[in-house]
Structures are given as C-alpha cells and as structure tokens.
Amino acid sequence: MAELIRKQGGDPFVAPSMREVPLEQNGPVFNFAERLFGGGFEMMILLTGVGTRQLDRLFATRYPPEAFASALRAITVVARGPKPVAALREMNVTAALVAPEPNTWREILTVTEGRPERQIAIQEYGRPNPELVAGLEERGAEVTAVRVYQWDLPEDTEPLRQAARRLAADEFDVVLFTTAVQISHLIRVAERDGLVDRALGALRNTFVVSIGPTTTEALEEFGVHPAFEPSHPKMGFLVREAAERVGG
C-alpha cells in the first residue's frame, strides 16, 4: 500500500489495524449464542448491519446455518435503522421495531418505551453504547451486550494510536479504508486516548475513500461518508483513483 501511494506522489502513513482472532477465542460470543438459542432473551437490539452479518457468520461455524435467524424470529427484534433491517432481510427476518433517524440510542429508547421485554441483548460493533444500556436498565431490564470479533487489534497498537492522534490533529489530506473493521479499531484506540470525537470530526471533514460497500457501510455507522468507492475493489484501483480525484 505504501509503495502504491508513493508511486502516485503521495506521502503515506500506513497503520496496521488488525490481526485475525481464531474462532475458539470468541468464547463470549458463543456463550451468548447458547443463551440465545436456549430462549434466554426476549428482545435483541441490532445496532449495525455489518455486526448482524458477522454474528450470523460466526454462529454458522458451530450451529446450523438457520439457527440465528430462527432464534430471532422467536423474540422481539429491534433494528437501529435501515442497515440492520437490510441484513435481517437477507436472513428472512423482520424487525418488530425500527429506530427512526437519526438512528441513535435515544431513538432506540423511544421505540422500545413501554415494552414488556426485560431480558434484552444488544449487538455491539466497534465500541460500547453505555447510554443505551443505562437507559434500558433504568426500566428494569437485564441487558447483555455482545461484541462481535473476528479480528482484534494488532499486538502493537502504537502505529494505529499515532494514526488516531494525527487524524485528530487534522494532519491527513486523504484517508483510505480497505476493510470494514478498520474504522472500529481506529475508534477503539482513539477512545483510549480520549480522541474519539476529534478523530471522527476530522474524518467527517477529510477526503475519505472506501474500498467497497461493506467498508462504506461500516464507515457510515460512525457518521463517516466516503467520497467514493473505486471502480474495482482492489488496492491499486483505490490508490490510483483517489490520486486522480484529489489531483484533479
């Protein structure tokens, strides 16, 4: 990637953002699955389309392919906007409740107000949502949050932390994302340094390019709207077309 950027006249800063997590290390997710499939929840709140699909893929490595969808059909499903709704549609599952725009935790609390369900699961992706959890618990709900991991942070997070710091300081003209998980990992390290708001604010005002639809969806979950996707989802096209857009 760095060499491709240099060939286009750019000054690259490349920060490794992830390492693969063996499936057996997803213990909390599979513990959650056992409880879900055993009828331990009355409601599930799905916050992102990417996370919903990833849960489905993870569960399918140990359980029948339809297990997740069947479990969801037996409980009240709440979707935080159109992206989780689309993911559910792929599974032939219909959300009972959909949070309206701007699709924040506040709208979720509004659409679930007065509901009788007390055993509630929340699918998180990228970072916790303490306001949503607290709001549900104030109503007497028992809330279980499940965070989806197929990838984890790299062993050495310093380059990624440096990227977050430089981003928060508005030091980048262009930011390229090549996988969906990169944005959530960037936010995780920014959170440790208290830089989330500044980093996201900078991204929203920077020329951001996404390699494809799944990555774009992940970015949009954080309010970041890429300028474009390349004509082909490959690194060479990504870098060259970004250089053409910026240079042009």
Residue 99 DSSP label: P
Average pLDDT, the chain: 92
Among 91, 98, 19, smallest CA distance to 59 is for: 91
- C-alpha–C-alpha distance, residues 169 and 131, integer Å: 27
**Residues 101, 214, 89, 57: is their CA dihedral positive or negative?**
negative
Q: How many CA atoms lie within 13 A of 14 on its CB side?
A: 11
Among 35, 21, 108, smallest CA distance to 75 is for: 35
pLDDT digits (tens, 9 = 90+) for 197-218: 999 999 999 999 999 988 898 8
Mean pLDDT of 124-134: 82
What total of structural domains would you count in the chain?
2
Residues 6+ apart with CB under 8 A from 112: 43, 45, 78, 97, 136
Do both 100 and 159 map to the same domain?
no
Do both 32 and 109 map to the same domain?
yes
Do both 159 and 182 map to the same domain?
yes
- C-alpha–C-alpha distance, residues 110 and 45, integer Å: 13
Do both 27 and 142 map to the same domain?
yes
Domain boundary among 128, 150, 172: 150
Do both 28 and 145 map to the same domain?
yes
> What is the structure's pLDDT at 24?
66
Q: Which amino acid is at 158?
A: E
With 0.75 as the threshold, say if the pTM is over it: no
Do both 27 and 146 map to the same domain?
yes
Do both 158 and 80 map to the same domain?
no
Size of the chain, expressed as the number of residues it contains: 248
169: domain range?
2-18+153-247
- How many helices (DSSP H) and strands (DSSP E) are in the chain? 12, 9
Instruction: Among 15-24, 78-87, 217-226, name the one with the lowest average pLDDT.
Output: 15-24
Among 119, 108, 97, 115, smallest CA distance to 42 is for: 119
Domain boundary among 83, 118, 150: 150
Q: Over 12-65, what HEC string results?
A: CCCCCCCEECCHHHCHHHHHHHHHHHCCCCCEEEECCHHHHHHHHHHHHCCCCC
Do both 144 and 167 map to the same domain?
no
Do both 64 and 144 map to the same domain?
yes
Residue 78 sits in a domain whose CATH number is 3.40.50.10090
Do both 9 and 123 map to the same domain?
no
pLDDT at 84 over 60: yes
Do both 237 and 157 map to the same domain?
yes
Whether the CB-CB separation of 122 and 129 falls below 8 Å is answered with: yes
pLDDT digits (tens, 9 = 90+) for 133-187: 999 999 999 999 998 766 789 999 999 999 999 999 999 999 999 988 899 999 9
Domain boundary among 150, 179, 209: 150
pLDDT at 19 over 70: yes
